[in-house]
Structure 1
Amino acid sequence: MSESRVPEGAPASNQSAARATVNPPAATRVMGLAIVVLSGLQMMVVLDGTVANLALAPLQADLGLSDSGRNWVLTSYALAFGGLMLLGGRLGDAFGRKKMFVGGVALFTIASLLCGLAVGEFMLIAARFLQGVGAAVASPTALALVATTFAAGPARNQAIAIFAAMTGIGSIAGLIIGGALTEVSWRLIFLINVPIGVVIVGCAFVALKETAGERLALDVPGAVLATVAATGVVFALTEGPELGWGSPYVIGALVAGLLLFGAFLYVERTADNPLLPFSLFHDKNRVATLVAIFFAGAVMFTVAAFVALFVQDILGYSPLEAGLAFIPFAFGLGSAAAVASKLAVRIQPRWLVVAGATIMVVGLLYGSTLDSSATYLANLFVPVIGIGFGVGLAVVPLPLCAIAGVSETEIGPLAAIAQVAQTLGGPLALAVIGAMATSRTLSLGGISGKVADMNPAQLEALGNGYTFALVGSAGCALIAGFAALFIRFTPQQVAQAQAAEKAAQQA
């Protein structure tokens, strides 16, 4: 929680009084408008990420997007969200969490309106980027507001549980609601956020109380450099297959991205309050953990995109049918998460990650062999559940490994960095794997553009590109499993991390 600074050596009574005036009294009951506002925002942000995958095929057909433009619909949002998330959380600490929460939700809502009204590729991608910026401010601030709004103990524990549950509910609801809305128009998946966002902003003014800002140095240059550097690299990799790898735009973007990344590392080493403290990476186990988190996030992001495209463009599924086809994935993931949370404190977590990665690799390589003759029950149902189960086994132990063996004050920063690693793994991997898929399609005589304009041979080439993308996803899973072999945390350390995480939430 944010606290005002009290001079060293001040009397204890003065320190207590100063702290007491910082934040309003915390609520002792969880049910009320506050938890509806905070969890509603979380559900909206998660749902928006889910439904975008289902809308890619009709969106591309309606606006005539290129394959690279279609991928930018996903990556622009994720790059802004992941790149600015750490800064977004600190803005709440510095200027007041209620104020930043309302501002973030308002920006997300306006951007959603612009997405729904988009008339071309540039407008849609720019609006999606603004959505990501709004989410990067609102989402981490919402989680911090849960801690300051509800009293430590049962009330806060219940509030955190409800807030976390919105991630799972939003993911599944997004598959159904998003599919149904996309059946009518892809614009509705964005426009529906507008009335919801307006209600959340209005209720936030009533239900939430402001927290005092804390004067601290904000690493704005670091956040901007990281986001722009990643965007440059992603642009080069995404546009390479269509513009040509020798294009000055592609080469220029790649060089600029790498140079800006070097500038980012320099800024982080010299900043007073860096977003990425290098001291947190002295432990090789933690570095291996973050690498595994990055590539596990890449698997989830890329598989969702290309499977959704394959079942709609190649198998002819409607958006709603595609959404329903993904539900077994969510159940497989949830089942594995329940198993992994118990096993992680009994066996070395690296073996859970390796087992999960192995299951993912097998399922994805099988999926890469499918073509237009595939049917859901015969060819997709079991692999979808299996890949989801593999993801669940891998992603549960990794965040605990990220915070294992650190002091309570380092849990928050490390947990945030782990979340950023998972979020940024998706768009960066999609850039590489998307380039692989497009190159494969073009090499087989396919074209980039509307599916309705393609002949059977071009459709076959397109499907081959989509399934080849799953080979790239399998490669990400393989790297995640290999990195996990270098994680040496014990079950006891993971159990301590679970206890420390709970204690940090209750503090």
Structure 2
Amino acid sequence: MQLMMVLDGTVASLALAKIQEDLGLSDSGRNWVITSYALTFGGLMLLGGRLGDAFGRKRVFIGGVALFTVTSLLCGLAVNEATLVAARALQGVGAAIASPTALALVATTFAPGPVRNQAIAIFAAMTGIGSVTGLIIGGALTEVSWRWIFLINVPIGLVILVFAFRALEETNAERLKLDVPGAILATLGCTGVVFGFTEGPEMGWGSPLVLTGLVGGFVLLGVFLAVERRAENPLLPFSLFRNRSRVATFISLALVGMVMFSLAPFVALFVQDVLKYTPLHAGLAFVPFAFGLGAAAFVASKIAVKVQPRWLVVAGTLITFVGLLYGSTLDASATYIGNLFVLVVGVGFGVGLAVVPLPLCAIAGVGPGEIGPLAAIAQVAQTLFGPVGLAIVGAMATSKTLSEGGVSGLAATEMNQTQLDALSSGYTFALLGCAILAALAALAALFIRFTPEQVAQAQAAEKAAQQA
């Protein structure tokens, strides 16, 4: 299940150009294909984990996998923008139910010790494997038809369900007060903000719908905070945020998540629409990003316990900033070896330096009982704020394209040279937006004051929590 969800998140960006051409998506509709999934996934992830505790993890996991499988079929059969976006949102709900329950099932299925450690290592490896193979498999499937990137989930999902019924054992249900209002308010609030920024460039920033989305979204987020203060079992316990370094950590995590989420679609669109790469060629071109990220993650995991973590995060985000700033100057004359290779590897290395110490900072200096909730909130911060970043960066890209004589909703193959140049300017302007977000992440990281000793303790506590 973990491999399938990582693959799904990776391949969708590669297929955007083909989906837009086939279904006639507007630029905002193209962004919704990505954001609708992430909004429901990130917004409901904490609630999904609580559902497993409240009703039994096997039962909830099977339900989540079944929903993900059915909605993957609906995505593959979509006939227009509305049906695809709706199916993607429901797919995110399925992922939010199944994903947090999956790791918990690993812990309850395998006995503590070497066997569980190996199982957790295999589970974690699926993220790295999925990131690389998703680029290759996604590109190859998109060459045949973009629909196959979703339809391939159906037989995989059926196999998962068969093995889940046979191999998994049910866990005891706990009596928990579920914070359903909090999950719904957070999801709807972020959706409103994303709607406003996504539709603003095309509908007009003064449009009543756009203004309603922006104002309503921020109001709902304010109500969410008020509800969380009084909730019996809140998704967002405010007691965990009394430490200023932890607040700075979560802000940095959110901003880095925004960069990573926004970067992939626009680079994929640039190399396909402007440089005329095929989907498979584009996927192969991005593989060095995963290797750069992996190399940096290995280095960061070794030295995070020896130097102040903020300097690792600052270094990583500044490397990312410089790489994206360079990327924003590219045009149709760019070549892979001369321009893109160093950019892809460099940005991957910068992101890798930042993403290792930040989750450790999120759980630094807390008791064993608080590690799980904080780790989950850290994951949600990256996942839920990603669509907000894409909405902001996407608004910058579309506004730039339209201001230079470009059009929205027209396939690149049907554009004249002026429109294509405007499209290229919009895509590279999006990279400038990502660079700004990376710079803000570096600034926020300066306020993280955790010591190497605290990070080392967090690393040890995280391993102990997994083995318990």
Question: Deviation of residue 472 (structure 1)?
Answer: 0.6
> What TM-score comes out, normalization by structure 1 length?
0.92
Matched, 1:287 2:241: no
Q: Tell me, in whole angstroms, the C-alpha distance in 2 between the residues paired with 1:105 and 1:273.
A: 26
1:474 aligns to 2:429 (yes or no): no
1:452 Cα deviation (Å)?
Answer: 2.1
Q: Which of 96, 107, 118 is the aligned partner of 1:147?
A: 107
Which residue in the other structure is 1:32 paired with? Answer: none
Could you say which residue in structure 1 is the equivalent of 2:405?
445
Aligned to 1:396: 356
| Counterpart Cα distance in 1 of 2:264 and 2:299 | 23
- Report how far residue 258 of structure 1 moved: 1.4
Q: State the secondary structure of the residue aligned to 2:300.
A: helix
Structure 1, residues 352-393: CA drift from partner, whole Å, max 9, x if none?
A: 001101110110000000000101000100111000000000
Question: In structure 2, how many angstroms separate the alpha carbons of the residues matched to 1:186 and 1:208?
Answer: 33
Which residue number corresponds to residue 335 of structure 1?
A: 295
Shift of 1:442: 0.2
For 1:21, the equivalent position in structure 2 comes to: none
The amino acid that maps onto 1:121 is: E
Match of 1:55 in 2: 15
Correspondences of 1:28-43 after superposition (within 5 Å)? 41-43=1-3
| Letter in structure 2 aligned against 1:87 | L
Number of positions where the alignment pairs a residue of Structure 1 with one of Structure 2:
467
Give the C-alpha shift of residue 256 in structure 1. 1.4
Counterpart for residue 376 of structure 1: 336
Q: Provide Cα deviations, 1:405-448, integer angstroms capped at 9, x if missing partner.
A: 00000000000000000111210000000000000000000001
Match of 1:461 among 422, 445, 460: 422
CA distance in 1, matches of 2:60, 2:383: 21
Q: Decide which of 117, 121, 128 is 1:161's aligned counterpart.
A: 121
- Supply the distance in 1 between the matched residues of 2:324 and 2:194 (Cα, whole angstroms): 23
TM-score, scaled to structure 2? 0.99
Amino acid in the other structure paired with 2:25: L
Is there any run of 5+ residues in structure 1 with no aligned partner, and where?
1-40
Within the candidate set 237, 240, 257, 2:217 is matched to 257
Aligned twin of 2:266: 306
Give the corresponding residue for 2:46: 86
Secondary structure at the residue paired with 1:380? helix
Q: Aligned to 2:461, which of 500, 503, 506?
A: 500
Stretches of 4+ aligned residues off by more than 4 angstroms? none
Per-residue deviation, 1:253: 1.2
Give 2:404's aligned amino acid: L
Q: State the one-letter code of the partner of 2:367.
A: S
* 1:436 aligned residue (396, 406, 410): 396
Indicate the percent of aligned positions where both proteins have the same amino acid: 75
Partners in 1 of 2:333 and 2:302 — Cα distance? 40
Mapped to 1, the partners of 2:29 and 2:102 lie a distance apart of 31
1:184 equivalent in alignment to 2:144: yes
Q: Deviations over 1:236-288 (max 9, x none)?
A: 10000000011111111112111111111111011100000000000000000
- 1:223 equivalent in alignment to 2:183: yes
Question: What letter matches 2:426 in structure 1?
Answer: G
Match of 1:44 in 2: 4
Partner residue of 1:344? Answer: 304
Match status 1:425 vs 2:363: no
Equivalent position SS for 2:383 = helix
Q: Distance in 1 between matches of 2:360 and 2:203?
A: 42
